[in-house]
Structure 1
Amino acid sequence: MAAATAAATLVLAACNGGSDDVDPDPDGPDQTVGEAGEGDDETGEPGAAGGEFTIYNCEPQNLQTGSSSEVCGSKVLDQLYSGLTSIDYDSGEVVGVVASDWETEDAQNWTFTIRDDFTFHNGDPVTAQTFVDTWNWIVNPDNGQTQGAFFDKIEGYQEVVDGDATEMSGLSAPDDTTLEITLSEPFSPFPAQLSYTAFYPLPEVAFEDIAAFQEAPIGNGRYQMDGEWVHNVEIAMTRYEDWPGDSPGLADRIVWTIYSDVNTAYLDVQAGALDILDGIPPERLATVDQEFPDQYQEDQTSSFTYLGFPLYQEEFQDPDIRHALSMAVDRQTIIDTIFNGAREPATGVIPPVLPEYRGDACNYCDFDAETARQMYEDAGGPSELTIYFNSGAGHEEWTEAVANMWQQNLPIDSISFESLEFAQYLDLHDEEVVTGPYRLGWVLSYPSPQYAMEPLYGTGADSNYARYSNEEFDSLIDQANAEADEDTAAELYQQAEDILLEDMPVIPLWYETRTTVHSTNVDNIVVDPRTFVRVEQVEVTSG
């Protein structure tokens, strides 16, 4: 994601996702927020239990809750773990899972009541202190967890990062079922943010050797590992019978089958060797209704695809160069010819599934070849480019189309391509060795414009691969986060988006309608706004 690619940021990998209309539900001051209810984020009616099925996945970068920043790993962790909260994607509301309820009077001081019936898969209890210990461990830089920045709003975070403290002063557990959290500033979306992967609890055994632990993680979710992670082959899990929620998983066993090429996965579904593939290859969109007449579906998602700029490279520091490259792309033509219409041209970075979306937010997203050429020439844009993308995920054809448009519409002599499998591709960005425009995507781990922007473009954010920084943007995001009135917060988020689109550290390309195909072995396929198949709801109909 997960992420956003992934809240924490779910960076979009081989699977690019979409969403139903989902409204953010920031909790304002003087509110007592929700009962646990069913304690999950269900969509759809309960079905028949039993059986097993296989589902496509790409090789995760890791299976560490504190370091997972992409959907390949986060989809698996979403089943192995249960967090304090989750999102009900029917209503867009935050619901309790491990937390039964929570209270705040000022959106800065929070008290969560923890259920006493959750255990890890090894039988250890999940208590309020479990969350305190897990979060402090993730934030401690000595432990090398990349998602620690998601805790930056908790009081005492910076002291731990700087090495002046070993624990965040804003966390305490007076007893096993009471978790008290003090933030450094008001943050209304906090309960929604806690649904993100980084905030899942870890058992004590994880802290002994996280590299070894991630080979067979011990979680507290609906499903538990069945053996170890077989790299580049599969990740298998079985239903955890002692999970105390009201809606446990239906299937007895789920196998995440790992592919390096989504086309191979598509052929395997046709042959009956794979049960579910979400995010089919673009070239199959025109014929999927003939090849899977009764076994395919389309779901709108929050998936947002963009081309980013490594702003640490001198040739991309002039915003007019970035504006020109954006205006030189005919998005609709690519969508019609390559995606068979299964995309929507992006007009900003806030997706249409959120009420803060505006169809006219971007001044540089309309195709205008003449203006783009003049602007590029005046700004002295580079005559040679390298485009980066992750391989095996169906991005080859459209990145080539973008390159052709740039060479046709701008004074660019040559364009080359660099691609790697997704896990290694993200390493390139972490190491800041990308030298040209790069393809990435983002999905909303929780439905808030804060998550659509801050993790990707906030100064110093882990998934800010462009290394973009703007003090006014950061300030507006902070103001919106602290605002109790939803309408006022929406206006502030939109003002922040305006600054972002003027600076244009990334070129917004399109929002995805996700196409999923499946075998006759399964039914009740539900795809949520994060692009996640709700595997716990899948019904096995045969075998």
Structure 2
Amino acid sequence: MRHKATMRRAAVATTAAAALTLTACGGGDGGGGEASADGGTVSIYNCEPQNLMPGNSTEVCGSKVLEQLYTGLTGVDFETYEAVPGVAEEWETEDNETWTFHLGEDWTFHNGDEITAQTFVDTFNWTVDPENAQQNASFYDKIAGYQALVDGEAEELEGVRAVDDYTLEIELTEPFSPLPLMLSYTGFYPLPQEAFEDPDSYEQAPVGNGQYQMDGEWVHDQHINLTRYEDYAGEEAGKPANIEWRIYADAEAAYLDAQSGELDVMDEVTPNHWGQLEADFGDNQQSFETSSFEYLGFPLYQEEYQDVDVRRALSMAIDREEIIEQIFDGQNVPASGVIPPMMPEYRDDACDTCSFEPDRAAELYEEAGGPSELTLYFNSGAGHEAWTEAVANQWQENLGVESVEFESMEFAQYLDLHDSDEITGPFRLGWVLSYPATQYAMEPIYTTDQSSNYTGFSNEEFDRLIDEGNSATDQDAASTAYQEAEDILMEEMPLIPLWFKSYPVVTSERVDDSSVVMDYRTFVRVEDLEVTE
């Protein structure tokens, strides 16, 4: 999920069946003391959120906090990646197009206000209304009436209806089987009336319906404190009594605090420390595979990259395993396609040209007349310099490329270049699953005319297969369609899959390391952490 836009429908600078793979760098019970009787207080690293309004939160710094403050219509089982009840106890559909959700009757916001079907009707309409400029509005684009509301031709979503106090009906413009999973996403969390009346004030101390409630206000650039909500209507209360999200401008300072025990959990350790984690933390560190996917895209509107053999050769000339070992201390997983390894549709042989084959690559590149000079683009300030330089060196060594220039800039400026089709060479981007559906690993960034499709890739058969997977009522049929769509991507190679990122998590002695879990989005499950006295 880039950190200020990990959850976007735009590409990031970073979503059902198998459990997320855990690669432990250390083990043991951690902690060493008895569990705190009331759950204790845990402190965890965070960066400064862009905002704390669910409909507007598109980056991990805010979304991590909102995850604790709210519960959506649905949730996610982080072992099976299936949709599970949230505020909605059950749901049904006959055609994947009209869905009925039956809400529990005991849900309230932290201020005591009741949550009903109308709560979600009001929230969804407010989020999509262009006057409110919510960045997550585009996630609603499959709901009937979305475009009319965006265009100002309607005042509310035609496809969202409160049948009665506890029955919500959602009608889509086309069949979409991942809807229950998508509704677990941050942008669909329910909002109380006070959020609509004064949004700016509201997000300084959001009133949610989740396992935790605000303890005071958001102290910008310092901390956001939460306390367990004892009247939570869900099945499980959070384990820590209090959560302190400590905001750091400097990850190095956070690392030092984690070393000294002043910070209990740090989940965004920079790569320069990965080789010394065992020395610095002993057993109190683990590594988790995630859906965070890094790739090099091709500007297909540039003539030099319109020959698929040029694209295939550039892919086969990269030794992914060597780069992962030397630069990422073995943490990342080489990509053999675009579907993350934890998804049931994942195949380790989906990509025929993702393996390192320098001789075959050189032959293809010469025959296709690949460019002797090229420019490699990446966003600055995120630690991409070392590996992009390694890729450039391998292209020069294995393909005879004479020179590689680098263009890097701040992410906002970087996306502006993409939006105006001013990229002239391979470019670095990433993607992370906002919800665990294979559809989300492909549709937003490769289907025709999607706003995040920065390669310009367009293939009618690919688009048809994505639609087929989305509308399938049978999971096996959906999986087959998605895999066939991935086959087309890997045949046409509008991008070079590089790796799926693993993230180390370090903890203090106060945290039982067996309770530490990072999910597919790179979120530590803070509510499950066990701390000692």
TM-score normalised per structure 2: 0.86
Residue 391 of structure 1 is matched in structure 2 by 381
Residue 517 of structure 2 aligns to a residue whose secondary structure is: coil
User: d(CA) in 1 for partners of 2:458 and 2:267?
Assistant: 34
Could you give the per-residue CA deviations for residues 53-85 of structure 1, whole angstroms, max 9, x where no partner exists?
A: 221223334433223333233222211211011
Match of 1:266 among 249, 255, 259: 255
Could you give the per-residue CA deviations for residues 28-70 of structure 1, whole angstroms, max 9, x where no partner exists?
A: xxxxxxxxxxxxxxxxxx9853332221223334433223333
Pick closer, same or farther for the CA change 1:320–1:22 going to 2, 3 Å. Answer: same
User: d(CA) in 2 for partners of 1:3 and 1:295?
Assistant: 24
Match of 1:148 among 123, 137, 149: 137
User: d(CA) in 2 for partners of 1:461 and 1:234?
Assistant: 37
1:358 pairs with 2:347: yes
Match of 1:528 among 519, 522, 527: 519
Match of 1:539 among 525, 530, 533: 530
Pick closer, same or farther for the CA change 1:414–1:396 going to 2, 3 Å. Answer: closer
Question: Could you tell me which amino acid in structure 1 is paired with residue 156 of structure 2?
Answer: E
Question: Could you tell me which amino acid in structure 2 is paired with residue 418 of structure 1?
Answer: S
Contact 2:378 2:429 in 1 (8 A): no
Please, which runs of 5 or more residues in structure 2 have no aligned partner?
Answer: 22-34
Deviates more, 1:200-209 or 1:355-364: 200-209
Match of 2:90 among 97, 101, 108: 101
Please, which runs of 5 or more residues in structure 1 have no aligned partner?
Answer: 24-45
Question: Could you tell me which amino acid in structure 1 is paired with residue 468 of structure 2?
Answer: Q
Could you give the per-residue CA deviations for residues 482-511 of structure 1, whole angstroms, max 9, x where no partner exists?
A: 111222211110111122223333321112
Residue 105 of structure 2 is matched in structure 1 by 116
Contact 2:20 2:519 in 1 (8 A): no
CA shift for structure 1 position 330:
0.9
Contact 1:459 1:470 in 2 (8 A): yes
Pick closer, same or farther for the CA change 1:198–1:469 going to 2, 3 Å. Answer: farther
Residue 275 of structure 2 aligns to a residue whose secondary structure is: coil
Residue 19 of structure 2 is matched in structure 1 by 21
Residue 388 of structure 2 aligns to a residue whose secondary structure is: helix
Question: Could you tell me which amino acid in structure 2 is paired with residue 243 of structure 1?
Answer: Y
Question: Could you tell me which amino acid in structure 2 is paired with residue 116 of structure 1?
Answer: E
Question: Could you tell me which amino acid in structure 1 is paired with residue 532 of structure 2?
Answer: T
Residue 444 of structure 2 aligns to a residue whose secondary structure is: helix
1:92 pairs with 2:81: yes
Contact 1:138 1:148 in 2 (8 A): yes
Match of 2:283 among 283, 289, 294: 294
CA shift for structure 1 position 136:
1.8
Residue 54 of structure 2 aligns to a residue whose secondary structure is: coil
Could you give the per-residue CA deviations for residues 394-446 of structure 1, whole angstroms, max 9, x where no partner exists?
A: 433223322322343342424224244x6886677677776654433333333
Match of 1:158 among 139, 147, 171: 147
CA shift for structure 1 position 253:
2.6
Residue 220 of structure 1 aligns to a residue whose secondary structure is: coil
CA shift for structure 1 position 247:
1.4
Contact 1:348 1:361 in 2 (8 A): yes
CA shift for structure 1 position 302:
2.4
Question: Could you tell me which amino acid in structure 2 is paired with residue 291 of structure 1?
Answer: D
Question: Could you tell me which amino acid in structure 2 is paired with residue 69 of structure 1?
Answer: T
Residue 55 of structure 2 aligns to a residue whose secondary structure is: coil
Contact 1:87 1:94 in 2 (8 A): yes
1:493-504 matched pairs, under 5 angstroms = 493-504=482-493
Contact 1:344 1:511 in 2 (8 A): yes
Question: Could you tell me which amino acid in structure 1 is paired with residue 60 of structure 2?
Answer: V
Residue 223 of structure 2 is matched in structure 1 by 234
Contact 1:3 1:444 in 2 (8 A): no
Deviates more, 1:458-467 or 1:291-300: 458-467
Pick closer, same or farther for the CA change 1:269–1:135 going to 2, 3 Å. Answer: same
Question: Could you tell me which amino acid in structure 2 is paired with residue 127 of structure 1?
Answer: T
CA shift for structure 1 position 127:
1.4
Residue 278 of structure 1 is matched in structure 2 by 267
CA shift for structure 1 position 315:
5.5
User: d(CA) in 1 for partners of 2:393 and 2:107?
Assistant: 55
Contact 1:275 1:521 in 2 (8 A): yes
Could you give the per-residue CA deviations for residues 198-251 of structure 1, whole angstroms, max 9, x where no partner exists?
A: 111122233345455434333222222334444444333232333222312222
CA shift for structure 1 position 286:
2.8
Residue 38 of structure 2 is matched in structure 1 by 49
User: d(CA) in 1 for partners of 2:420 and 2:256?
Assistant: 35
Contact 2:110 2:207 in 1 (8 A): yes
Residue 56 of structure 2 aligns to a residue whose secondary structure is: coil
1:416 pairs with 2:406: yes
Pick closer, same or farther for the CA change 1:232–1:220 going to 2, 3 Å. Answer: same
Match of 1:188 among 177, 180, 188: 177
Taking only the aligned residue pairs, the percentage that are identical comes to 55
CA shift for structure 1 position 173:
0.3
Residue 462 of structure 2 aligns to a residue whose secondary structure is: helix
Pick closer, same or farther for the CA change 1:132–1:71 going to 2, 3 Å. Answer: same
TM-score normalised per structure 1: 0.85
Residue 25 of structure 2 is matched in structure 1 by none
Q: CA RMSD in A?
A: 3.2
Pick closer, same or farther for the CA change 1:467–1:134 going to 2, 3 Å. Answer: farther
Between Structure 1 and Structure 2, how many residues are aligned? 515
Question: Could you tell me which amino acid in structure 1 is paired with residue 215 of structure 2?
Answer: D
Residue 31 of structure 2 is matched in structure 1 by none
1:375-524 matched pairs, under 5 angstroms = 375-376=364-365, 378-381=368-371, 383-392=373-382, 394-410=383-399, 411-420=401-410, 436-523=425-512, 524=515
Pick closer, same or farther for the CA change 1:223–1:419 going to 2, 3 Å. Answer: farther
Residue 155 of structure 1 aligns to a residue whose secondary structure is: coil
